[in-house]
Structures are given as C-alpha cells and as structure tokens.
Amino acid sequence: MKRDVSGLESNEFDLLVIGGGIFGACAAWDAAQRGLSTALIERQDWASATSAHSYKMVHGGIRYIQHGDVFRVRQSSAERRAFLRIAPHLVQPLPIVIPTYGHGLRGKAFLRTGMALYDLLTLDRNRGIRSAERKIPNCRSMSRDETLELFPGLKPDGLTGSAVFCDGQMYNPTRLVLGVVRSAFDEGAVVANYVEALSFVQDDDRIKGARVRDCLTGDEFEIRAKCVINAAGPYSEHLLKRGLEKESAPVGPYSRDACFVIGRRLFKHDFAVAVQGATKDPEAIVGRGERHLFLVPWRNYTLVGVWHKVYQGDPDSLEMSAEDLHGFLDEINGAYPDLKLTIGDVTRVNCGLVPFGENEDDAVNLKYGHRSQLIDHGARDRLQGLITLIGVRYTTGRFEACRAVNLACRKLGVRSPACRTDRTPLPGGDIESMESLLVTARSQCPPEIPDEILRSLVRNYGTEYGDLLSYLDEDPTLAMTLGTSRTIQAQVVHGIRHEMAMKLTDLLFRRTDIGTGEDPGIDEIMTCVNLMAVELCWDEKRVEDEVQEVLELSTAAALERSENLRSPHNITN
C-alpha cells in the first residue's frame, strides 16, 4: 500500500472521501468495492484521532434495552456480528459481569429479564460467524460466590450475584481501520495520509472536489471529484465553515469521551466488570441507578472508563486536565474501593470527540448522542455534490458508511450493487478458527520467536503473519524484539514499506503495539527511528524532530508538565 499523491491530482474521481477514521475508511472501501473511482485522504495518519482513542469495544447494543430503542439494539448487534465475521483476528467476544444487589431494579431477576429480552432481539447475532470461539453466547447469571471469586473487591453488602453478557473487543482499533484502508486500496481506491482538505472546489451551487495540501511537502493542489463525502468526524464542521462559499448550518455539540489505561492486569482472568459511577442516564425508560463504568482486560493492561463531557472547543485543542483525571480516579476508586488506583498506575490517557445529545450548560446527568448524522447538503443547503457523515460510535462505522455511499450513488445517478463490506474479510481475516491458525503458525514459525510474540503477530495480521516472517529470510536480526513490547523489528520495516507509515508516531502508536498501552521506552524509540531513517533516508535533523514529537506525546511528559496535578493543567490525548 503506497501513498499516491500524484494519483490524487491527475485523476477525476466519482467520489472523494475526506477523513481516515473508521467512517471515512469504510466509505472509501464500500465505494471502491461497488466500482466507483474513489479517493481517500486524511490530514494526519489513519485512525489518528477519535478512532484510535476509543474504548476498544464493539457494542452489541444491550444498553439500548433500557431506552426501548429496538432499532439501535438490532443495528448494533448486526454491526458487532459483521466485525466478528470480517476481522476475527482483531475482534473477539468479551464477557462482562454486572453485579446485582438486593431486589427490584438492581436485583438479579430484573436484570436477567432484560438480558433475556436482549437475547431474543438478537437471535441472529452469530449468523455467518464460522468459528465457535468467535460466537456471542446467551446471557447468563452467576452466584454471589462465583462473582466474588472473580472480583473479590466488590462491595459485598447486599450483593446477590451477577448477570453476564458478551460484547466485542478490538485487539487493535488502529490496525482495524488500517485493514479497511488497505481493503479500499486493494479495490482500486487512491489513498493518501497526511493530505489535508483546505476548502472545497465550488462552482455556483455544486461541489466539484477539494483543494488540499500535502502536509509532508507543503504542496497544494486540487482533487477533482463528482461527489465528496466529508467524513472528518469532529473536524467536519470546521471544514464546512472554512471551506464553503456559503455558510452551512451547524452540526451540533460534541462529547469528549475519555478513558485511561492501567499498566497491568488488575484481575487474573478475561472477564470485564461494570460498576456504578456517579451520574445517571436521564433518557432511560427504566434505570437501575447510576451509569456504569467498566474495568476491562485488554492485552496485558486494564482499560478504565468511559467518562463524557460536553466539549465546544477546537478539536485540535482537545485535552483532559489532570484535575479531570484525578476526578475519574476518585470515582472509580469509590465504586470499587479495593483498587486504590493512583496517577502512577495510569500509562495511557485516551480521549476523542463524538456527537452528543442536547444538554443544559450545567447538566450533570448528560444525554448522549443517539444517531450518526448523515447530511445531504443538496437537500439541506441547496449545495449539490456534498455529503457530510459524522458518526456516533466506532461500532456503526461500516453501517453508516454504507448509508453514505448509497446516497452518493443516488446523487451520481449510478446503479451500483449492494454493499458487501459486512461479509468481505479484511486482509488477513479469512480465518476458520483462530486457535487452529495459531497452531499452524507455530509449526511454520522459527523457534526463536516466542509464543507470545507469535500470538501478537497472528492477532495483528491474521493469515498474513507469514509476510512478517519472510523478512527474517532477508535479515534474521529483524526477529529481535523491541524492548518489553511484543513487537519485532520486522513489523517496523513492514509498516514503512507496505503500510504507509510516514512518521515515527505512525509506527509506535498505530502500526505496532509498542505505544498503544504505555509510553514507548527510549530504546524502542531509537531502534524504530533508526530503522525508519535507513528506509526513508532521513537526515539527523529529521530524526531529532521525530523523536521529540514522540516524547511530547507521551503520557509521562504530559503529567510532568502539570506541576500541580490538581490544577487545571492539561493532559493531551
């Protein structure tokens, strides 16, 4: 997969997609698969903003039962099924325990009734999923003793047991988006990261493309297209404001969704647990009390979240104050006192922007966004050739992209085949059984590659793990691991040569596992930057700049910049 800037300038496309998160990537893949000539651009790296900082969950919609929103239950379950089917190496079932207390709304009987209804509404949740290990089981109950055995620090007073349901979890959200971009590329799309849309090319009341800048060279040029999908997430509205000759109506408020990573597994098993936080859901038809916070095992870490806050600033200035982080720690420690988490336990802070519901300025119990926004500017603003898609949840990215491409086809007057992205495996995803694939990989892998490294390769690359092993024939030293991470040097070279990694941050935070759960060590940073310098012919100044950018993005640096952690100094995402 090569970055083709010249191809962007020299062609006229049926469709230009702006934004390389999950929504834009899926739109480009769907369009290219249907036969539309397609271009996809992203002003930074693929999945470098909200998609990268998600909670790694593929939600099946169980929460919408209490809203009476059957449509969202069905939609979410279908999209979870699609990801489990097309990317079984990157998405797997995650069992989640909800403790029950006493009787009534917080009791086991009430919760199991709701879960039974959920099972009934999602009877088709495993359709087309070939491997039993990737299927979502029915919800079930656990006794008080079983629950305390898994989570001994739960508040015991009134505890009657728990209910257990399964959702989906992403092993690596950024690599999942990268797989979608690669699929679009394989279908003929011209794709390029670090290309920023500056404005739209407008002829009277019709959009005919975009004026863009190559962020790596500074060159500006036009991309001509018959239709444009603006899928830049929280940046979409800013692009509309600065890029149109006529003002477009505003989109609406956003939420800063935040979570953080604990640098170890808090529990010695693969179950997540939901505990009740400090705020309520004002839109729930039937509420069980406060909203849930989750403690989730992920790789060798624990994810904690999610917190929401109305955000009205510039997306480029998105940040989380140390005061906020302390508040989150206090809330989770209050909900699960045995944790006793401190700032020193936090190895990564994630936050991103998603559309939110309408809330009063001083509201504590916030209304969340319900639907993604698909805007036909021809109908709304009398501006033909432009569509804006702003998604609410990573889970629905594929579905909403399909809707956007359907609309684009209608506007282009094209009769296209139906969307097939829900059943087309991503690269490396044509897998019958993950466990069988691991056994096969072990038999083909050199003995010097440890099992934990091999498992990481298979989880990240699926059936294409052999591409990484082939580098070892070229240079056996590429089998060396990078610091304490489960990453080998061959992955760095592969990311540069075949996955469009243009900067050191791309490799550390998005192509490999090195910096996704904790700050990369200086040895890992220097090994990676030296490999990139050789591959991309960087001079000493470029090497210094790349290393400095990584250090400035580290969690440790952000915390150090806050001399007083309870002052409103900020931790960036």
| Interval 435-453 mean pLDDT | 92
Domain of 510: which CATH number?
1.10.8
- H/E stretch holding 259: strand 254-262
151 and 272 within one domain: yes
Comparing 192 with 486, the larger pLDDT belongs to 192
75 and 41 within one domain: no
Q: Tell me which DSSP letter residue 558 carries.
A: H
Three-state secondary-structure class, residue 374: strand
Whether the ω angle into residue 354 lies within 30 degrees of 0, i.e. cis, is no
Residue 67 tokens, joined:
């809203």
CA distances from 307 to 272, 396, 508 (A): 17, 20, 26
Q: Tell me which DSSP letter residue 368 carries.
A: B
Return the closest-CA partner of residue 292 out of 20, 534, 59.
Answer: 59
The per-residue b/e assignment along 456-480, b for 16 or more CB within 10 angstroms, e otherwise, is: bbbbbbbbbbeebbebbeeeeebbe
CB 60 within 8 A of CB 121: no
Residue 363 in any domain: the answer is no
Alpha carbon distance 555, 531 (integer Å)? 24
The per-residue b/e assignment along 532-542, b for 16 or more CB within 10 angstroms, e otherwise, is: bbeeeebeeeb
Confidence (pLDDT) at 441:
95
Q: How many CB atoms lie within 10 A of CB 10?
A: 12
Using one digit for the tens of pLDDT, what is the confidence trace for 521-573? 999 999 999 999 999 999 999 999 999 999 988 877 666 654 343 443 445 45
Confidence (pLDDT) at 484:
74
Residue 249 tokens, joined:
């109506």
Confidence (pLDDT) at 314:
83
pLDDT tier at 366, thresholds 50, 70, 90:
very low
Confidence (pLDDT) at 17:
98
374 and 326 within one domain: no
Residue 478 in any domain: the answer is yes
Amino acid (1-letter code) at residue 508: L
Q: Which phi and psi (to 5°) does residue 556 adopt? A: -60, -40
Return the closest-CA partner of residue 566 out of 325, 334, 342.
Answer: 325
Confidence (pLDDT) at 246:
66
Whether residue 45 has pLDDT greater than 60: yes
Residue 429 in any domain: the answer is no
Q: 465-474 vs 489-498: helix axis angle to the nearest 10?
A: 100
Whether residue 368 has pLDDT greater than 60: no
pLDDT tier at 283, thresholds 50, 70, 90:
low
Range of the domain at 248: 5-50+174-252+370-412
Residue 121 makes CB contacts below 8 A (sequence gap 6+) with 65, 70, 73, 74, 77
| Interval 251-266 mean pLDDT | 87
Q: Which phi and psi (to 5°) does residue 358 adopt? A: -80, 125
Residue 273 CA to its chain's centroid (Å): 21
Using one digit for the tens of pLDDT, what is the confidence trace for 3-20? 999 999 999 999 999 999
Whether residue 120 has pLDDT greater than 60: yes
Confidence (pLDDT) at 564:
43
204 and 236 within one domain: yes
Q: How many CA atoms lie within 13 A of 545 on its CB side?
A: 7
Range of lowest pLDDT (47-61, 69-83, 465-479, 551-565): 551-565
Residue 467 tokens, joined:
């591409």
306 and 234 within one domain: no
Three-state secondary-structure class, residue 60: coil
Tokens 């190496």 locate to 89
341-344-345 Cα angle (round to 5): 50
Alpha carbon distance 555, 551 (integer Å)? 9
Q: Tell me which DSSP letter residue 268 carries.
A: S
311 and 335 within one domain: yes
- H/E stretch holding 113: helix 108-121
For the chain, percent of residues with pLDDT exceeding 90: 71
439 and 546 within one domain: yes
Residue 327 in any domain: the answer is yes
Q: How many domains does the chain have?
A: 3
Confidence (pLDDT) at 237:
86
515 and 546 within one domain: yes
Confidence (pLDDT) at 359:
46
Alpha carbon distance 137, 228 (integer Å)? 41
Residue 372 tokens, joined:
């993604």
211 and 298 within one domain: no
Using one digit for the tens of pLDDT, what is the confidence trace for 80-97? 999 999 999 999 999 999
Confidence (pLDDT) at 186:
98
Q: Among 322, 355, 388, give the residue marking a domain's end.
A: 355
- Which of 246-250, 348-352, 494-498, 558-562: highest mean pLDDT? 494-498
| Interval 403-423 mean pLDDT | 95
Q: What is the mean pLDDT of the chain?
A: 90
Amino acid (1-letter code) at residue 171: Y
Confidence (pLDDT) at 202:
93
Taking every pair of C-alpha atoms in the chain, what is the biggest distance, in angstroms? Answer: 70
Range of lowest pLDDT (10-14, 62-66, 217-221, 462-466): 62-66
The β-bridge partners of 228 are: 16, 386
| Interval 494-500 mean pLDDT | 97
Alpha carbon distance 29, 156 (integer Å)? 50
pLDDT tier at 287, thresholds 50, 70, 90:
low
> What is the Rg, in whole angstroms, of the alpha carbon atoms belonging to the chain?
23
Comparing 94 with 105, the larger pLDDT belongs to 94
Domain of 226: which CATH number?
3.50.50.60
Using one digit for the tens of pLDDT, what is the confidence trace for 152-189? 999 899 999 999 999 999 999 999 999 999 999 999 99
Residue 315 makes CB contacts below 8 A (sequence gap 6+) with 49, 233, 234, 235, 238, 353
Residue 281 in any domain: the answer is yes
Whether residue 233 has pLDDT greater than 80: yes
pLDDT tier at 109, thresholds 50, 70, 90:
confident
Computed from CA positions of residues 324, 325, 327, 332, in that sequence, does the dihedral angle turn out positive or negative? positive
Three-state secondary-structure class, residue 474: helix
Alpha carbon distance 46, 200 (integer Å)? 21
Return the closest-CA partner of residue 503 out of 44, 177, 173.
Answer: 44
Range of lowest pLDDT (25-34, 120-129, 276-285): 276-285
Confidence (pLDDT) at 313:
81
438 and 397 within one domain: no
Residue 340 in any domain: the answer is yes
Residue 75 in any domain: the answer is yes
Confidence (pLDDT) at 553:
86
Residue 360 in any domain: the answer is no
What pTM, to 2 d.p., does this model score? 0.93
258 and 224 within one domain: no
CB 106 within 8 A of CB 288: yes
Tokens 């603006």 locate to 230
180 and 144 within one domain: no
CB 90 within 8 A of CB 175: yes
